[in-house]
Chains A and B, each alone.
Chain A
Amino acid sequence: QVQLQESGPGLVKPSETLSLICTVSGGSVSRGSYYWSWIRQPPGKGLEWIGNIYDRGGTSYNPSLKSRVTVSVDTSKNQFSLKLSSVTAADTAVYYCARDYGSGWYYLDYWGQGTLVTVSS
Chain B
Amino acid sequence: DIQMTQSPSSLSASVGDRVTITCRASQSISSYLSWYLQQPGKAPKLLIYAASSLQSGVPSRFSGSGSGTDFTLTINSLQPEDFATYYCQQSYSTPRTFGQGTKLEIK
A-to-B contact residues, CB < 8 Å: 37, 46-49, 60-64, 96, 98, 100-101, 105-109, 111-114
Contacts and interface: CB of A to CB of B under 8 A. Distances in A.
A119 to B, nearest CB: 21
B71 interface: no
Interface-central residue, A62, A63, A106, by most chain B CB under 10 Å: A106
B98 A47 contact: yes
Secondary structure call for the A interface: strand
Contacts of A48: 98
13 contacts: A37-B96, A46-B87, A47-B87, A48-B98, A49-B97, A60-B95, A98-B43, A100-B91, A106-B96, A107-B34, A108-B44, A111-B44, A111-B45
Contacts of A111: 43-45
Contacts of A107: 34, 46, 49-50, 55, 89, 91
Given A63-B1, A107-B34, A114 B43 contact: yes
Contacts, number: 63
Interface residues of B, number: 25
Most buried by B among A46, A60, A98, A114: A46
Given A46-B87, A49-B96, A62-B95, A105 B50 contact: yes
A114 B40 CA distance: 12
Contacts of A112: 43
A98 B99 CA distance: 18
B46 A108 contact: yes
Interface in B44-84: 44-46, 49-50, 53, 55
B36 A46 contact: no
A84 to B, nearest CB: 15
A113 to B, nearest CB: 6
A96 B32 contact: no
A60 B89 CA distance: 16
B92 to A, nearest CB: 9
